[in-house]
Structure 1
Amino acid sequence: MVTNDLTIASPLQTARARGRVRGRLILLGPAFVAAVAYVDPGNFATNSTAGARYGYLLVWVVVAANLAAMLVQTLTAKLGLATGRSLPELCREHLPRPVNRVMWVQAELVAMATDLAEVIGGAVALYLLFGIPLLAGGLIVGAAAFAVLALRARGFRAFEIAIAVLLGVIVLAFAVNLLSARPDVSAAAGGLLPRMQGTDSMMLAAGILGATVMPHVIYVHSALTPNRIPAADETERRIVAKGLRTDVLLALSAAGAVNLAMLLVAASTFHGSGIPGTDTLEGVHAGLAGSLGAVAALGFAVALLLSGLASTSVGTYAGEVIMQGFLRRRVPLVVRRLVTLVPALLVLAVGVDPTRALVLSQVVLSFGIPFALIPVVAFTRRRDLMGSLVNRPATTAVASVITALVVALNLFLLWQLVA
């Protein structure tokens, strides 16, 4: 834009003028906030259980789920950039009122199931590290999330950087454990062939899917990208969109590597070993200590704690996005935190097996995926909403196939549970 012969730099031009590296880094961040939810304690439970019970059988599920997540989060980020609104806001504007209310109710249930996994996982980690009782640990994790959320008051970059650092430590911990476990490369490659072994493996596959393609971060990611780096024109808009794709590729690759490492470590260390209890988080921790040493067990517990802390902060933020978008209402952060925290504390108080609760929470999450996926695909294919960032026909086709497969899997699981 030119005024009185003086060129006023756009926000993107200002960011890129700081240097080539800093200019690119400014476009990264939202996907890392989303990615930490892809390595939440639910992933620890489902991936470790899958590896311990079935060895390398479900490697293909982890890989396929992560590829699907990359596409989903790319569409989600693009949706926020193109429309300037979050997915819940778009649902409120374009869907009938009764449908919007149903969407809100299921989204709240998804947020509760998410917090269930995150708080329980963090509580288990505190028990493993310090012997703190589970209920007290759950309260500590719930309260500690406020410290991470408080960083948002200092701007979006502080919050994003904190989450990215926590994700980096989790990646490092599992990289060390993977090197110690030395999985069978040929057997892991064989696990890329899609196959199942009965209904139990199907349940675990749905749990892995629910723990990987997370409904609540679809809502969160769409709220992080609007107006983050305002584009002055169509050229800048495409540059920002390219940066968001890179953001998703880097963040989800890191998350996918962690998920795969979880399964490979459990498969190579526990499957067929006769070590008892390796389908529980406590058993995995004890098994790692006995098989790979104290450092591996410590890395597992620390990663689990950081995962619970980071992902529960993102989950609370998701609750804000959900209520503000679907209902256009805000509630105090303390109230929002308590609404999703209470179910997790009740589970811990009554003594439900933590790992079992985690796996079941991921199955619940998998049923919430279609409610987020279908609107994302429907909105991103509309040129009147997306403009030049509208999906290509092939992109819409692939996303539609993924959505159809997820819905079909959920219907099958529902039938199996009822039968």
Structure 2
Amino acid sequence: MFKNAGKILKSIGPGMIITASFIGPGTVTTMSQGGAGFGYSLLWAVVFSIIATIVLQEMIIRLSLVTREGLGEAIQELFSNKIGKLMIVWFTLIAVTIGCAAYISGDLIGTSLGASYLLNIPENIVAPIIGVIILLIGLFGNYRFLEKIMIFLMVVMGVIFITTMVVIKPDILGILKGIFVPTIPNGSIITVIALIGTTVVPYNFFIHSTAVHERFGDIKALKFARWDTIISITIGGIISAAILIATATLMNGKEITSVIQLAGPLKPVLGDAAPVTISIGLFAAGLSSAIASPTGAAATISSLLGWKGGMESKKYKYVFTLIIIIGIITSALGFEPLQVLLVAQALNGIILPVIAILIFIIINKKNLMGHYVNTIWLNIIGGFVVLVVSFLGLYSLVDSLNMMIS
């Protein structure tokens, strides 16, 4: 590894896009609530979510580099029956698109929270402006530009949230216990599911597949693509854990709805810089997630329908534009209907286990993957991850249906 350290660092990119994607307002809020509500005790769930994400995304890069196809194409080739193929392709396409369209308003509002807090400007004014900026990035940028933006946002989040964790001097023994002694305190099961669910995201499989094609040449780059995935997602895990640890240290036992509330307890340490620091961190997390939503929809549709040209194709940009325009309009109107979000969550609850199982099946096809199929150990670890992810997806589906009925 150390011999190729320079090449490994230069290969960092696609994994950072995935990491920047899953650390959004939802993740920041969930980590904050997990730390405030249950202290360090749920850190093991953060660690598991990172391991699960690395395992699944590694399968994606291996599949993409071996076949030189996207995940969507591989899923289509798995089905010989035309009806079955159409059903799975269109269900996945519709589920991911509705999910991205439903969540984009929340992503833009979440991005605007930091700026709104500092500038005292209403969120429904800031959010559409951010949406227009993202639209311009999508229309006139390319893969390399997107990669640089996401890496920059990851650096910003890392510096802010990890530094915050260090300066408040948390309980090291408590942290180690939370990581290595898994517990599920009373009333924490929903939070555990949310901690994992905000990290393992279905559309990230399609984004990663597209990004790998844009960044790496062929299977010879597998070693570097793996290091990119492991390093990037591990950094994301450390940032997520840092948010949970900071709120567990400063806000344990208190009601918390936003990481912005950390600004108060941090003032004795950071002074007047506390609200600025936290607001910038939240803005970076929101912006990365808001960029990822339309990117996820465009990458998924492009892969499933076999569109060529990658992120610079006109069709890709059309989908990106449509999703972000939906976000601009709905965030300006403050329109975030509960029923639409519940439908999106229910669809996500179905699609996550379906896609995870399909990835597991595809990666074990000897005639497709050759000697790059899963080893026995990868099948044991991957099988366990797929089972847990499937359970989480189904639990999310049931929870959404219960809320819609009630």
* TM-score interval for Structure 1 and Structure 2 normalised by the shorter chain: 0.7 to 0.9
- Give the counterpart letter for 2:274 in structure 1: A
Change (3 A) 1:407 1:27: same
Change (3 A) 1:195 1:134: same
- Which structure 2 residues correspond to residues 295-314 of structure 1 after superposition, within 5 A? 295-314=273-292
- Give the counterpart letter for 2:46 in structure 1: V
1:214 aligns with 201
8 Å Cα contact 2:63-2:363 kept in structure 1: yes
- Give the counterpart letter for 1:299 in structure 2: T
- Which structure 2 residues correspond to residues 213-232 of structure 1 after superposition, within 5 A? 213-226=200-213, 228-231=215-218
Q: Distance in 2 between matches of 1:360 and 1:295?
A: 40
138-147 or 262-271, which deviates more: 138-147
- Give the counterpart letter for 2:367 in structure 1: D
1:50 to 3, 12, 34: 34
1:260 aligns with 241
- Give the counterpart letter for 2:116 in structure 1: Y
Q: Distance in 1 between matches of 2:196 and 2:149?
A: 26
Shift of 1:377: 1.2
1:251 to 226, 229, 232: 232
- Give the counterpart letter for 2:53 in structure 1: A
- Which structure 2 residues correspond to residues 326-341 of structure 1 after superposition, within 5 A? 326-328=304-306, 331=315, 333=317, 336-339=320-323
1:83 to 67, 71, 80: 67
8 Å Cα contact 1:42-1:361 kept in structure 2: no
- Give the counterpart letter for 1:165 in structure 2: F
Change (3 A) 1:353 1:415: closer
* In the alignment, structure 1 residue 115 sits paired with structure 2 residue 104: yes
- Give the counterpart letter for 1:245 in structure 2: R
250-259 or 181-190, which deviates more: 181-190
Change (3 A) 1:186 1:381: same
Q: Distance in 2 between matches of 1:159 and 1:190?
A: 38
* In the alignment, structure 1 residue 138 sits paired with structure 2 residue 122: no
8 Å Cα contact 1:148-1:310 kept in structure 2: no
Shift of 1:393: 2.3
- Give the counterpart letter for 1:119 in structure 2: L
2:213 alignment partner, SS class? coil
403-412 or 183-192, which deviates more: 403-412
Q: Distance in 1 between matches of 2:395 and 2:203?
A: 23
1:389 to 351, 369, 372: 372
Q: Distance in 2 between matches of 1:335 and 1:241?
A: 30
1:406 aligns with 389
- Give the counterpart letter for 2:261 in structure 1: G
- Which structure 2 residues correspond to residues 6-405 of structure 1 after superposition, within 5 A? 23-95=7-79, 96-149=85-138, 152-153=141-142, 156-192=143-179, 193-198=181-186, 200-226=187-213, 228-231=215-218, 237=219, 239-272=220-253, 277-289=255-267, 293-328=271-306, 331=315, 333=317, 336-339=320-323, 342=326, 346=330, 349-350=333-334, 368-405=351-388
Aligned residues: 387
Query: Percent identity, aligned pairs only?
Result: 21
Change (3 A) 1:241 1:365: same
Q: Distance in 2 between matches of 1:270 and 1:338?
A: 40
| Structure 1: gaps spanning 5 or more residues | 1-18, 232-236
Change (3 A) 1:74 1:388: same
8 Å Cα contact 1:57-1:191 kept in structure 2: yes
315-324 or 240-249, which deviates more: 315-324
Q: Deviations over 1:205-246 (max 9, x none)?
A: 222112111211111001122374334xxxxx3x41111111
240-249 or 315-324, which deviates more: 315-324
Shift of 1:283: 3.0
- Give the counterpart letter for 1:140 in structure 2: I
8 Å Cα contact 1:91-1:375 kept in structure 2: yes
Q: Deviations over 1:265-290 (max 9, x none)?
A: 00000013x5xx52334434445447
Shift of 1:113: 4.7
1:212 alignment partner, SS class? coil
8 Å Cα contact 2:153-2:285 kept in structure 1: yes
Change (3 A) 1:351 1:100: closer
Q: Distance in 2 between matches of 1:24 and 1:301?
A: 32
Q: Distance in 1 between matches of 2:114 and 2:354?
A: 32
1:10 aligns with none
Q: Distance in 1 between matches of 2:382 and 2:274?
A: 38
Q: Deviations over 1:165-217 (max 9, x none)?
A: 2211110011221122221111222223222234x422222221121112111
| Structure 2: gaps spanning 5 or more residues | 80-84, 308-313
Q: Deviations over 1:68-116 (max 9, x none)?
A: 1111111111111111111122223333211211111112133235534
Change (3 A) 1:353 1:328: closer
Change (3 A) 1:392 1:353: same
Change (3 A) 1:70 1:307: same
8 Å Cα contact 2:39-2:248 kept in structure 1: yes
State the structure with more CA Rg.
1
- Give the counterpart letter for 2:359 in structure 1: V
2:82 aligns with none
